[in-house]
Amino acid sequence: MNSDTMKSGVQRAPQRSLLKATGLADNQIKKPIIGIVNSFNEVVPGHVHLNRIARAVKDGVLMAGGTPMEFNTIAVCDGLAMGHTGMKYSLVSREIIADSVECMVRAHCFDGLVFIPSCDKVVPGMLMAAARLNLPSIFISGGPMLSLNSDDGRAMDLNSVFEAVGACSVGKMDEERLGYYEDNACPGCGSCSGMFTANSMNCLCEAIGIALPGNGTIPAVYAHRERLAKQAGERIMGLVNEGVTALDILNERSIRNALTVDMALGCSTNSVLHLAAVCSEAGVEFDLKTVNEISERTPNLCRLVPAGPHHMQDLFAAGGVQAVMKELSKADLLDTTVPVAAGGTLGQLLEKAAVKNNEVIRPIETPHSKTGGLAILFGNLAPNGAVVKRSAVAENMLVHKGKARVFNSEDEASEAIFSGRIQKGDVVVIRYEGPAGGPGMREMLASTSAIAGMGLDKDVALITDGRFSGATRGAAIGHISPEAALGGPIAFIREGDTISINIPEYKLELEISKAELELRKQQIPLKTAAPQTGCLKKYQASVTGADRGAVLTTVVSSDDDYY
């Protein structure tokens, strides 16, 4: 056992003494020691209940003959951090989570790991750690929040509140009605209830095969969630005994499966960023062009909020992620020979899966669209790519030309949006919010939700080198690479320039000549980044571009081929 390094032999008596100081008996020390990686805290609604999940996992480990030992990671709530300086720390936390898990696991020689994430950056941070450590590993999330209907019969979620703020700001809603949404849109624990980033990544853990069926969709408050946690605790012991490690499951074939499921579900744009980062840790080549290749052949089967009316509880009732994969397998769109943490192959796991509601999960023959939910755009504005959730874009905005309204920060753009200075047909440009330029690559949910709440989402596009929440809808194009701070073309857009968006053809263009663009590069100085301290300083100095997953490098050089 890996833990023998720490606990076996005469020379390890001091270590066994310390283990006994935690209350472990000799018989417990002799068994496989399973690390329970818990992201519980009392700040984030997606994490407030994770001690209950951890208790169930530990029960499962004990039932299967192992010794569970729990430790914690941090978890940032993107919703709470949205719209202020706190959002600079969200993406940064992904790297800190991966590093902190590595430190604990390498220092304490666990035999296997059960990861308990829930919200946005925690899932990919833990996936990165799992790939880096390559021990037997399994994931069990805290589950999605329920969505309840408002008094007018419409289902609510966090984005309902953000959009209500936009409506209130232009007089379409009074503050009393805004207060109603504030009080009722988020009814309890769990990750926010649409196909936002957290739920996207938890569903993709199922698609990869590193989580058990139901991981992405069983609501947080259901007892079924605790039973699944116990099953995960039992199953980690099976993986340890079988010698199946994380990279046996998390590999090139399973990542392609995940991207295929991503397209069928219509996941968050952040999923591309995070899968690229996970691939970096797993030693799997990741090319943004592959996303479009998979999207071209993968139909979009689900329209969950913000792309449509359904929430995670609806997807669960319709058969969940497994049912979506069953539909995809009918067209041979998945590699069903890959091993899964549940045991056996994906094909064997899908034998019992079935679609129970053809409105929530469309048949493969009659999808919402013949292409997937995400698209990567290229052009002179995004030589290295940009990403859009096309399933959440209105039909009339799939092809759009508009005049650029240029802002050098999200704060400037938000002020203009809320003061009514954005008009129909405009293309809002928010730059210097990329991984290095922000630093931290902030999400723009406050801005995009305000546009939607004002009723402009079918008339106004927004492009940025920053990110969007999975809750964003409309022609919102993010992750523009290279970013402005590194001299990307977005830095040289001028107010009033014409920007051309063609999502079906995967194009994003600034309508000026190549000669004019080169002249502007000489004339327009780049904005100097504000001095940073602490983790933001270290992050800014070593982060790569969004097209590479915004992962960290040891050294960043101006003559690196990337630049």
Nearest CA to 139 out of 50, 74, 64 is that of: 50
Nearest CA to 97 out of 72, 77, 133, 118 is that of: 72
Q: Is 287 labeled as ligand-binding?
A: no
Q: Is 120 labeled as ligand-binding?
A: yes
Angle between helix 122-133 and 197-208 (nearest 10): 30
Report which secondary-structure segment, H or E, holds 406. Answer: strand 399-407
Q: Is 500 a catalytic residue?
A: no
Edge-to-edge order in the sheet of strand 112-116: 67-72, 33-38, 112-116, 137-139
Nearest CA to 262 out of 307, 218, 314 is that of: 307
Query: DSSP code of 489?
Result: G
Q: Is 78 labeled as ligand-binding?
A: yes
User: Hunting for tokens 């450590």 — which residue is that?
Assistant: 133
Backbone angles phi, psi at 462, to 5 degrees: -140, 130
Q: What share of the chain is helix, strand, coil (3-state, %, to 5)?
A: 45, 15, 40
Catalytic residue among 268, 469, 500, 542: 469
3-state SS assignment for residue 61? helix
Task: With beta carbons less than 8 A apart as the criterion, state whether 424 and 455 touch.
Answer: no
Q: Is 26 labeled as ligand-binding?
A: no
Angle between helix 270-282 and 122-133 (nearest 10): 10
Cα separation, 87 vs 440, whole angstroms: 7
Half-sphere exposure of 561 (CA within 13 A, CB side): 1
Write the single-letter amino acid at 297.
R
Query: DSSP code of 430?
Result: E
Cα separation, 537 vs 541, whole angstroms: 6
Estimate to the nearest angstrom the gap between the alpha carbon of 41 and the chain centroid.
19
Residues marked as catalytic: 469
Binding residues for Mg(2+): 78, 120-121, 443
